[in-house]
Each structure stands twice: as structure tokens, then as C-alpha cells.
Structure 1
């Protein structure tokens, strides 16, 4: 089954593809846009455009651009923007985020849960620096080890220990790369659990409701496998931090 379709179905109830509650998302966006009467935002790996649509709905003087390789996700972004009446302020590009270029810099760059598109956190920071206006802000979300991962956790995530560090080391690396955290959020265990139950539940329920679809069996298998990997593998080991950063 196509991985992008799995992701779209799994995020049907929660289009923010990260373990963040609605309140956490709203607070981070409010802080990201604080002090600016208007501006331009860019989401690298925007998926269904949930971050940008919420930003535009809350900030009538902002405009935004989203970049993603998932054409169906971009279609949903347009639909969501149209439903909220913000479609004229949103531009969408079906493009690899690494290839995106702009003549004008952005006041806010977002990359939450999509740093893999650039090969990790530090390359994402370097890419964002080239697109950010002086005084602009970067909202970036990344995983970290809440505790030393077990072999079960590493197997479930198909990860190596060196793929992540603890929160302190991760933050030190961000600072060493020339960025200053001005706000942030560490996802709580209830946020993680709600996200994972929604992810696996939405996918499993779709399979139950569409037994005639050729992908129904694969969808149910993916949901069951993901649930087991989470509960028996990485739950409590993998954390998620969202930084609001400014350049030094």
C-alpha cells in the first residue's frame, strides 16, 4: 500500500502530523506570529497544509506557501483553505522541499515532523536559514530520546541510537548551529498517546468501513503493526520537541 495514502488515512482525524494537541498548536502559532502585523510563512513538507491553514485563519494579514511531494495532500490543503476562506492567501507547490527556492525571504519557516526530507535536524536548520528573513522565526519539530532506547524501541522505529540524542544534547546542537530557542514545547505522554491512538484507529476504522477496497487488508495490517510497535517498542522512549527559533 502506498505510504502516502497510509499517512493520509491515518491522519484523517488529526491533520497535524505530529504528537501535538490543538491547544499546543494554537499556542505555538500565536507565538510564531507574535509582534508581526503581517508576514509570509513557508511550510517545508506541509502535507495537508494544516499548520498553514490554521495560521491564515488566525492571522488575516499573513500569506503562506506550502511545499510537499504528496499531490493528494496538497489537494486536501486547498480544500481546507477554501472551506475557511483563506485559499487566496495560500500558495502550494508540488515539489521536493530540498529543491524549493524563493526570491523573497519568509518571516516564518515551519518544518514540524518533516526534517527527514532534509536528512535530519541540522540540515533542516541550514536549509531554513537560506529562506528566512532577518528577524524571522523558525518552527521546527524533531524527535529525541526521552530515555535510553531499548532494542525493542530501535527495532520498532527501524532506528539506530545515534539517530537521536537526549533533549539537552539536541538543544545544544541547535544552539551550536547558530540558533536561539525563544520558545518551545515538549509533547507530553498524553499527547503522544492521543496521536498514536488516532493514527492507528483512523487507519483501522477505514479498513473496517471499506472491506471492498483492495487496500483494506494492507491498511488494517499497517495499523496493527504500528500499534504493536508503539505499545511494545518505543512508547516512552521517543520524545518530540517543537522549537521556536531565531537566528543569532
Structure 2
């Protein structure tokens, strides 16, 4: 089974591909795009964040870029049903190379830093698309404590330098000239809801379709992921979402 198919199943019960509750997503979008005219999502997945933003904020236009177009068709159909399709553009391509119209009033990049090679290059890429008074909504993982070997193994052999701790993450953002104007650290409940949905939806599909040629493979992948979570990184991996303003460097410079 292709990874994209498994991810599509995994996110069917939790369409936001991050450990964030519905209420928190709505709040973050309100803070990031409320009253603004345009938003760009770098590493948009299937475009769920943008569809949600468009439904909530009339007049907003949105562009999403992702290397995969899995889920684009469904999201565009939902956008048409909601009457917002004329305000949504989804682009299949490398977000690092996107050179569309700029600047945008807001940029989103939640859980996509890996696509840029880390947090620092993600910040640099976002700045190139953002208006001077715009806002960046950035989400990434961090270590709530030095990771144990079990945590690293549970994440498929991650390295201890893959993420920083929370203070280090915010310090890095600050060193790159951004002002943090809001932040949210995902709770254990949000993480658990996300992981139970990620593993539960594909497992249900597999047991309800036992004769499907990929059912056994899906169930095996789900069990592998769940074991890595429950026996490894549960409680050992954090997620922070930061709302950032790019003007700190100008302020510091007087």
C-alpha cells in the first residue's frame, strides 16, 4: 500500500494532520487570517486548513502548495459545495520552489518543516512570501525532555538533534528575527485524540474489508505505528504552534 493511501485513511477521522483540537484550530485560524485578504499554506497536505479558513472568513483567498496532490480532488469538491472554490487554489509542487504571487497577508506551515529541511529554512522560506505586516502560523515538534532511546525508536529511528526543546525552539525563532505573538503547546489529550484517530480509522477499514488485498498490510502498519507511539514516544514528543510577526528585526534595529 502506498504511504499516501494509508495517510488518507488515517486522517479520515481527524482531518487536521496535527495534534490540535477542532476548537484550537478555529482559534489559531482566527488569529492568523481573521480580517486578512490572502493566505498561503506551504506544505498544505490535502488543503484542509485552507478549506476551513475559507469557510470561516468571507473574502479570504487561499493558495496551498504540496508535493503530493492526494486529497486535492476531495477538498476542491468540498470547496465547491461550500461555495468557496473560486477562492481556493491548490498547487502540486515543491513548496521550497513555489514562486507564486506575493506577498501574502498570512502564511501557514504546520507540521511541514521536514519538507524544508528543518525549522530554520522553513522560517526563511515563509518570510519570502509574507507581507511586512503579515503573520506566520508555524507548527513543529519539540522535545519536552531529552529523548530516550525508546522515544527515538518509537519514531522510527529519529535522532536526538532532529528537534530542539521548547525554549530552544522559541529562541531559534527569535534569532531569525521573528516576534512570537501567540503560541499553543498541544496537550496530551490532543495528542491522544490524534493518535487514536490515526490508528483507529485505518484499523476499522481493514477489519471491515477483510477480503481487500491490502487489508492485512494496513492493519500491520497501524499496529506498528501504534506500538511506536504507546511503547515509545507517547509523552516524549511535543508539538507547538506559534503565531509569528516578521517585524522583530526592524524593531531591534531601531
TM-score range, shorter chain: over 0.9
Structure 1 residues 70-101: Cα deviation after superposition (integer angstroms, max 9, x where no partner)? 22221122122122221110011111111211
Tell me the residue number matched to 1:56: 54
Aligned residues of 1:53 and 1:77 also touching (Cα < 8 A): yes
Give the SS at the match of 2:70. helix
Tell me the residue number matched to 1:208: 207
1-structure distance, mates of 2:94, 2:203: 30
1:193 aligns with 2:192: yes
2-structure distance, mates of 1:206, 1:70: 23
1-structure distance, mates of 2:165, 2:82: 39
1-structure distance, mates of 2:224, 2:32: 36
Tell me the residue number matched to 2:16: 16
Structure 1 residues 39-71: Cα deviation after superposition (integer angstroms, max 9, x where no partner)? 110111111211101110110010000111222
Tell me the residue number matched to 1:2: 2
Give the SS at the match of 2:74. helix
Query: Alpha-carbon deviation of 1:145?
Result: 0.5
**Unmatched 5+ stretches in structure 1:** none
**Unmatched 5+ stretches in structure 2:** 249-254
Tell me the residue number matched to 1:161: 160
2:37 to 34, 39, 42: 39
Q: Which runs of 4+ in 1 moved over 4 A?
A: none
Tell me the residue number matched to 2:252: none
Query: Alpha-carbon deviation of 1:118?
Result: 0.5
State which drifts further: 202-211 or 57-66.
202-211
2-structure distance, mates of 1:191, 1:81: 26
2-structure distance, mates of 1:169, 1:3: 32
Query: Alpha-carbon deviation of 1:197?
Result: 0.3
1:119 aligns with 2:117: yes
Tell me the residue number matched to 1:175: 174
Aligned residues of 1:186 and 1:240 also touching (Cα < 8 A): yes
Number of residue equivalences: 246
Give 1:201-240 correspondences, 5 Å limit. Answer: 201-240=200-239
What is the TM-score normalised by the length of structure 1?
Answer: 0.96
Structure 1 residues 99-136: Cα deviation after superposition (integer angstroms, max 9, x where no partner)? 21123211111010111110111110000010111100
What is the TM-score normalised by the length of structure 2?
Answer: 0.94
Give the SS at the match of 1:201. helix
